[in-house]
A and B are shown apart, each in its own frame.
Chain A
């Protein structure tokens, strides 16, 4: 009869038993998963509260460029009212400018200006907004883009806040 090796006597723990998971342990891990889902929901609420806290201060006017920086039909991105909050400035005509938040009101993708259609376009889900007033022209976005209040001071363009 074959003798078992000496190491088996020294380490008598079976690997099969090591990897065995009871139903109770599995159920406990499900509760951990439930906890993780709750934490994710809580994190969204916390981020929302932080954003509201950051926005609590008055929005200050900001110089965003000069008239000659943009040709007719061109657009440029600028951060307003704070860094990391992109907006899009569009030159519609010789004397007409419009600026909107660049975050699509559907799921937050950045919108782009399409000169040939005179529309702002969200490539994620084919959303379109009028470049004149930011209203939804087509696609899934539920609300117009927030519009930036612009003022001209000589050849300077200033953002004064968001229009209600």
Chain B
């Protein structure tokens, strides 16, 4: 039972990180600097990849 909760909290933390990255990217885009957009997108992709890996881990282990 603890595994699914650990995964849920981990994914929530990753989403929080993605929201921060999105905020930084949006501010960068609106200010016209356009210097952090690629890095933020890469970071967001890594977070999404991590979330996918976690859900696959949960599915393969059949944990509830």
Contact = CB atoms under 8 A, between A and B. Distances in A.
Interface of A: 22-24, 26-28, 30-31, 33-35, 37-38, 40-42, 44-45, 47-48, 103, 105-108, 142-143
Interface of B: 4-5, 7-8, 11-12, 14-15, 18-19, 21-22, 25-27, 29-34, 37-38, 40-41, 44-45, 47-48, 51-52, 54-55, 58-59, 64
Nearest to B59: A24
Given A27-B4, A27-B7, A41 B27 contact: no
Contacts, number: 91
A57 to B, nearest CB: 18
Nearest to A42: B41
19 contacts: A24-B64, A27-B4, A27-B8, A27-B54, A28-B55, A30-B12, A31-B54, A33-B15, A34-B15, A37-B44, A38-B41, A41-B18, A41-B22, A41-B25, A41-B41, A42-B45, A48-B37, A108-B32, A143-B32
